[in-house]
Chain A
Amino acid sequence: MKISVLSGKGGTGKTTVATNLSYYLSKKGEKVQYLDFDVEEPNGFIFLKPKIENTFEVKVKVPQIDESSCTQCGLCAKKCNFNALSVTKNGVLVFEKICHSCGLCSLVCPVNAITEVEREIGKIEIGYTDNLKVVRGVLNIGEPMGIPILKDLKKLITPDYINIIDSPPGSSCSVVHSVEGSDYGILVTEPTKFGLHDLEIAVNVIRQLGVPFGVVINKSDENDYIIEEFCKKQGIDIIERIPFDRSIAQKYSKGELLDDKIFMEVFENIFSKIMEVSNNEADSCN
């Protein structure tokens, strides 16, 4: 099972929900892995504090030019869809960070002067917090493209686990890559106009991906109506509310999980709603 936690707006509580839900379920005896897909700012480990057991480098392919056989014909640069190459009389320049690793340049080179070599852009770390398996992708500083790390992270999603994906914020490629193929999407929002604005965008994205979803209102207070009105109009389930509570903020600021009894109930409710929906989905398929 794959459950994605996303939000649109940053700072609504994706990581709070994803880490605590993962930890709660593993404590309960479920076989769970938490995967931090927010590779630009993976902060789930701050709360889960796993013991890291394995680290893998993530590499992408970039062209390497053999200057001795290159005739400077310029075909590689002309064919490159991403403007990652430049050919002048004084040699070929490769702009590695613009390159999307498509390999076209090496195919079109008439003298086979281009080979693809590997370049490290980040890493994947795997560890454990008690029985909870914890995984994260980390994009190296200065690297513009995290998608190759997401692709490698996806390979670690296995059906024998409840996989909880901590998605990046926003609604761009990286979110689509994280969420597609999920059995359920938890849309975490907050009762503010900003929260609503970005929730609407996230709803559009997840509907197009065909993933069943529900909304969790974090920092829930007297302004919940901002989100409630929208959800009612759109026929979207509000599956849980996490109160706007000083003790939560205190724990968060110390990098602690919310392991009080009252919060356990919150995460139990979220999980049982998800199971309900996915069981219904399964029934309707039969």
Chain B
Amino acid sequence: MKVCFSSEGRNLDSQLDPRFGRCKYFVIVDTKTNDIKVVENEGLVSEHGAGVSAANLVVDEGVDVVVTRNIGPNSMKILTNAKITIYEGKADTINSNLELLKQDKLNEIKEPRKAHSGLQNRWGR
């Protein structure tokens, strides 16, 4: 199973980025082989459609599961269409969230956040 985390850094000790569309990196872990792949999120600097661009990237990586905290309506629609399951990260780091996921202790996200939540700090909305 390939699990994709929205991440602030490039390794398993990094903090989970609470934003999906505008996170810095995607850390993708293959739970069978323990291989790790890090992809920069182009959506971070996107002027429009950050969520679409981020979700397209994740779909292209062929992941089965996404772990994040806040995901917008457009990203959610794409991931759902690609039959990718989305879980809400509870712990701080990627590693601890991976453990929780393996123990089946994370909840599925079924409702998106409002669009543009990830820009809150930038525009003070």
Instruction: Check: A220 CB closer than 8 A to any chain B CB.
Output: no
Q: Is the CB of A83 within 8 A of B52?
A: yes
Distance A88 CA – B60 CA, assembled complex (angstroms): 8
Provide the bound-state CA to CA distance between A90 and B46, in Å: 25
Chain B contact residues: over half helix, strand or loop, or mixed? helix
B48-A82 in contact (CB<8A) = yes
Collect the chain A residues with CB atoms within 8 Å of residue B49's CB. Answer: 82-84, 95, 98
Quick check: is A93 within 8 A (CB to CB) of the other chain? yes
Question: Nearest Cβ distance between residue B103 and chain A, in whole angstroms?
Answer: 29
Residue of B nearest to A86 (CB): B78
Instruction: Tell me whether B50 and A83 are in contact (CB under 8 A).
Output: yes
Contact across chains for A95 and B74 when beta carbons are under 8 A apart = yes
Q: Could you tell me how many residues of chain A have their Cβ less than 8 Å away from some Cβ of chain B?
A: 15
Chain A residues lying within 8 Å of B78, measured Cβ to Cβ, are 86, 88, 93
Inter-chain residue pair count (beta carbon < 8 A): 42
The minimal Cβ–Cβ distance linking A87 to chain B, given in whole angstroms, is 8
Inter-chain contacts of A91 with B (CB < 8 A): 81
Residue among B52, B74, B83 making CB contact with A90, cutoff 8 Å: B83
Once the chains are docked, how many angstroms separate the CA of A77 from the CA of B81? Answer: 15
For residue A89, CB closer than 8 A to chain B, the reply is: yes
In-complex Cβ contact of A86 among B43, B50, B56, B83 (8 A)? B56
Q: Scan B28-55; emit 1 where CB is below 8 A from any A CB, else 0.
A: 0000000000000001001011101101
Give CA–CA (A207, B48) in the complex, Å.
Answer: 28
Residue interface bits B66-87, CB-to-A below 8 A is 1, else 0: 0000000010011001110000
Given A77-B56, A83-B53, A95-B74; A90-B81 close (CB under 8 Å): yes
Query: How far apart are the CA atoms of A138 and B59 in the complex, in Å?
Result: 38
List A72-96 residues whose CB lies under 8 Å from chain B: 74, 77, 82-91, 93, 95
Which of B52, B60, B74 has the most chain A CB atoms closer than 10 A to its own CB?
B52
Q: How far is the CA of A89 from the CA of B60 in the complex (A)?
A: 10
Q: How far is the CA of A87 from the CA of B56 in the complex (A)?
A: 8
Interface size on B, residues (CB 8 A): 17
- In the complex, A85→B78 CA distance in Å? 10
Chain B positions within 8 Å of A77 at CB level = 56
Task: Decide if A90 touches B48 in the complex (CB within 8 Å).
Answer: no
CB-CB < 8 A to B56: which residues of A?
77, 83, 86-87
In angstroms, Cα B48 to Cα A85, docked, is: 12
In the complex formed, the residue of B with least CB distance to A91 is B81
In the complex, A85 Cα to B51 Cα: how many Å? 11
Q: Which residue of chain A lies nearest to B53 when distances are taken between CB atoms in the complex? A: A83
A88 touches B81 (CB 8 A): yes
In whole angstroms, how far apart are the Cα atoms of A74 and B52 in the complex? 13
Given A86-B52, A91-B81, A98-B74, 10 new contacts (CB under 8 A): A74-B60, A82-B49, A83-B43, A83-B50, A84-B52, A86-B59, A88-B82, A90-B83, A93-B81, A95-B74
A-B contact pairs, 26 of them (CB 8 A): A74-B60, A77-B56, A82-B49, A83-B46, A83-B49, A83-B50, A83-B52, A83-B53, A83-B56, A84-B52, A86-B52, A86-B55, A86-B56, A86-B59, A86-B81, A87-B56, A88-B78, A88-B82, A89-B82, A90-B82, A90-B83, A91-B81, A95-B74, A98-B48, A98-B52, A98-B74
